[in-house]
Structure 1
C-alpha cells in the first residue's frame, strides 16, 4: 500500500513542541494535548496533537503521510512511537509551529472524519519525526451547545 499524500519538510521548533490540528480548530485545547505529551512521543486532545521536540538544536525533520487505511508500523529504527486519534471537521490539517504559524497545510483526500495518528520520533543530530494518518470513522454527531446553555439561562 502506498500513501495517498506524502510531505517532507524541515521545521524550526520554538517552545519545545509543534502541533497538528484541523485548520478550523484554532482555539487551543487548554494545554490538554501538551500535558498528555509529557514523557511521551506525542499527546492528543480531541482536535489537536502536540509533539514535543528538542529545542537544541531547534531544527527538526518531518515526514507526514496520509493513507487510505491503517498502515503497518514503520520498520525503520525509531526511539519511540505513539498511536493517537484526531478529529478533523474540515478535512484540512496544519502542522503549526508555536509563534510562527503553519509550516505545512494538507487537504486530506478522505475529507472530514476521525483519523488515526501514529507519531514516530528519532533523536540523532536533530529530531526526526514521521507522522502517519489514516481515516477511521465519520465524525460523531455534533454536540448541541444550545441545550447546555439553555438550561443555564432559564
Structure 2
C-alpha cells in the first residue's frame, strides 16, 4: 500500500468522487479503468392512478402507504418520501400515466437522462427485503422489482415529463364527458395516453441499521 503522503492517493480520491459523472477514468494507482455506473434492469407500469398517487415501496412496508404528510408534500413537489415509501403525485387520473423504474449499479449522472425529463427530487428508501412493488395502492401494481444488492437503503432520483401537456389533456377529457362521450374518450386516450411519464432511478447506498433488540 502506498504511504499516506503519496500524491497518487489524492488523485485517486478525486477520480473516485467523479465516478458516475465522468466515467472512463483510470485509477492512478493501478491504471484500471473506473467504470461508470450502469443500469441493471428496468420495469414499467402504465396506469390511471386512483387518487393521483403512485407509490414505490418494499413489499414489507405497507404501513407507510397512507402517510398524509408525504402525500401532501408530493402534491406540492411532484414526489416525496418518508423513508419507507416514495409517493408520486400525478396531475390527472383520467389518462394513462407511465412510470419506469430503473435499478442502477451506482449513482447515475443527470446528464445521462434523455432530453425532455425534469428532475423533481431525490429521496432515500429503506428496503428490508429488497423486493419492491410499484402501484397506486388500489388496483394497478407490479412487483418483482428486485435489485441484485437485496435489502438496504436505496437512493432514488425522480424525473418527470409531460405534466403540463397532461393537465391540458385532462381538461379536454373532462370537457368531452357526457352521455355520448365513449367515442370521444377513446380518441383522447389514443391521442394523449401515457403523455405523463415518470422515471425513477434507484441505487443501493448502504446496509440498514441493525434493529435487533438489545434489552436482554
TM-score by length of 2: 0.61
Structure-1 residue corresponding to 2:40: 4
Large movers: runs of 4+ above 3 Å: none
- The structure having more radius of gyration, on CA atoms, is 2
- Counterpart in the other structure of 1:111: 150
Quote the residue 2:205 is aligned against: 136
Alignment size in residue pairs: 146
Deviation at 1:80, TM superposition (A): 4.0
Change (3 A) 1:88 1:75: same
Find the aligned partners of 1:2 and 1:135 in 2 and give their Cα distance.
Answer: 13
> Residue 94 and residue 71 in structure 1: after superposition, are their counterparts in 2 closer, same or farther (change >3 A)?
same
Deviation track 1:73-98 (CA, whole Å, cap 9, x = no partner) reads 12422244211110000000110213
Q: Give the structure with the higher percent helix.
A: 2
Gapped regions of structure 1 (runs ≥ 5): 148-154
- Aligned pair in 2 of structure 1 residues 80, 3: CA closer, same or farther (>3 Å)? closer
1:57-136 equivalent positions in 2, closer than 5 A: 57-73=94-110, 74-123=113-162, 124=165, 125=192, 126-136=195-205
SS at match of 2:121: strand
Bigger mean CA deviation after superposition, 41-50 or 2-11: 2-11
Shift of 1:101: 5.0
Q: Which runs of 5+ in 2 are unaligned?
A: 1-36, 166-191
CA RMSD of superposed structures (Å): 2.0
More strand by share: 1
Q: In structure 1, what is the equivalent of residue 74 of structure 2?
A: 37
